[in-house]
DNA sequence: CACCAGGTCTCTC
DNA sequence: GAGAGACATGGT
C-alpha cells in the first residue's frame, strides 16, 4: 500500500486496494459514521476522520501509527487478490468488493460486538453497540470510547438489557467478567483450532462468532466465518446445502487455508449486496 | 400477525 | 455428534 505520514496525517495514494466504502460496509466493523466528505471511524478509545481529496484518501487522528495498523496498510492486497482470483466465484466477488481490507480491531471490542451480532441484524447491532458505548464508555468529548472490560464486568445485567441486547445480556456480562478476570487473549502460540476452541468457552461465542473474533481481532486468516450468507454461497459453489454450518466452515477453511478470511470477506460482501434473498 | 436478522444454548437421542 | 426449540428486540 502506497502511503505516507505527515503530522499524524496518513495520506493514501490511489484507491485500488483501499476503498473505504467497501472496507467499512463489508460487515467487519460496526462503529463508523458517514460524513459529507468521508467517514468517522471509532476504535477502542480512539477515532479517525477519513476524507477523499481528489484521488487520495486522507486519514486524520491523534495516533497515525494505530490507524496504519488498524487499516492493515502494510500488507499487499494485490498479492492476495492474485492468489484468490483463480477460485470459482471469487473473480466476481473481488471485482465487486475491490479495495476491501481486513481491519486490525481491538480484540475485546470484537468479542463483545460479535456476541451482540448473533441472530441480529446490522442496523440494530450498530445501535446497540452505540448505546453500550454511551452508557459505559469513557466520555471523550464529542464521542464515547468503547467500554473497557472492567467497566463491562462491573455493569449489572440490567444495563445490558437496557441497551437492547435482549437474551444476550447474560452472555455479555459473563464474558466481560472472564475477560476482566484475566482470560488470556494471547493466542500467538496456539494453532487456529485451539484458539477457536478457547474462544468458544466464552458464553455467547459459538463457531461462527469465534471465527469473526479470530479474523477481525487477531487477523487469523485461516478462519472462514460461516453465516447464513456464506451458507447460501456454499450451495451456489458446491451445489450442496444439507451440511451443517460447522461442516461447511471446516471445508471452506481447509480449501482456502490462510487465505480463508480474505476469501470470506469478498464472498460475504458480494452475496449480501447482490444475492437476492 | 408471522417471519427474519452475520447464531448460540440447552436438552434430547 | 446431530437435530429440534427457545431465545429479546425491532423492522417489514
Sign for the pseudo-dihedral over CA of A229, A230, A236, A240: negative
pLDDT at A205 over 60: yes
* pLDDT value of position A241: 79
pLDDT at A254 over 70: yes
Exactly one of A197, A208, A250, A277 is catalytic; name it. Answer: A208
Over range A152-156, report the average pLDDT. Answer: 98
Q: Is A73 exposed, middle or buried (0-12, 13-18, 19+ CB in 10 A)?
A: buried
* pLDDT value of position A225: 98
Total-model pTM = 0.97
Number of H helices, E strands in chain A: 14, 6
Distance CA A130, CA A188 (A): 31
Cell of A113: 460486538
* pLDDT value of position A107: 98
Nucleotides of C under 7 A from a protein CB: 2-3, 7-11
What is the spatial distance, in angstroms and rounded to an integer, between the CA atom of A93 and the C1' atom of C5? Answer: 36
CA angle A122, A127, A132 (to 5 degrees): 125
Closest CA to A224 of A252, A202, A245: A252
* pLDDT value of position A261: 98
Q: Is the CB of A166 under 7 A from strand C?
A: yes
Known catalytic residue at A255: no
Cell of A275: 444475492
* pLDDT value of position A237: 87
Distance CA A219, CA A104 (A): 7
* pLDDT value of position A200: 98
Distance CA A169, CA A160 (A): 5
- pLDDT interval class at A184 (50, 70, 90): very high
* pLDDT value of position A276: 67
Q: Is the CB of A43 under 7 A from strand B?
A: no
Amino acid at each position: 500500500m502506497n502511503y505516507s505520514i505527515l503530522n499524524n496525517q496518513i495520506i493514501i495514494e490511489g484507491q485500488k486496494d483501499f476503498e473505504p466504502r467497501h472496507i467499512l460496509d463489508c460487515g467487519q466493523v460496526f462503529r463508523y459514521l458517514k460524513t459529507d466528505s468521508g467517514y468517522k471511524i471509532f476504535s477502542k478509545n480512539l477515532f479517525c476522520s477519513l476524507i477523499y481529496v481528489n484521488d487520495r484518501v486522507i486519514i486524520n487522528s491523534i495516533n497515525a501509527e494505530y490507524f496504519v495498523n488498524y487499516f492493515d496498510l502494510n500488507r499487499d492486497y494485490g498479492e492476495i487478490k492474485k492468489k484468490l482470483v483463480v477460485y470459482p466465484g471469487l473473480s466476481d466477488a473481488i471485482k465487486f468488493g475491490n479495495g476491501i481490507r481486513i481491519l486490525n480491531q481491538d480484540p475485546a471490542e470484537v468479542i463483545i460486538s460479535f456476541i451482540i451480532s448473533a441472530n441480529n441484524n446490522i442496523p440494530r447491532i450498530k445501535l446497540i453497540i452505540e448505546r453500550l458505548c454511551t452508557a459505559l464508555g469513557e466520555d471523550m468529548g464529542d464521542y464515547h470510547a468503547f467500554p473497557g472490560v472492567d467497566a463491562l464486568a462491573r455493569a449489572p445485567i440490567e444495563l445490558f438489557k437496557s441497551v437492547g441486547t435482549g437474551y444476550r445480556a447474560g452472555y455479555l456480562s459473563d464474558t466481560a467478567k472472564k475477560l476482566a478476570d484475566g482470560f488470556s487473549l494471547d493466542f500467538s502460540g496456539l494453532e487456529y483450532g485451539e484458539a477457536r476452541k478457547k474462544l468458544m468457552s466464552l458464553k455467547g461465542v459459538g463457531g461462527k462468532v469465534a471465527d469473526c473474533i479470530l479474523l477481525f481481532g487477531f487477523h487469523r486468516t485461516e478462519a472462514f466465518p460461516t453465516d447464513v450468507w456464506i451458507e447460501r454461497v456454499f450451495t451456489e459453489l458446491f451445489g450442496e446445502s444439507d451440511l451443517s454450518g460447522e461442516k461447511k466452515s471446516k471445508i471452506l477453511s481447509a480449501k482456502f487455508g490462510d487465505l480463508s478470511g480474505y476469501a470470506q470477506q469478498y464472498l460475504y460482501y458480494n452475496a449480501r449486496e447482490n444475492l437476492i434473498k
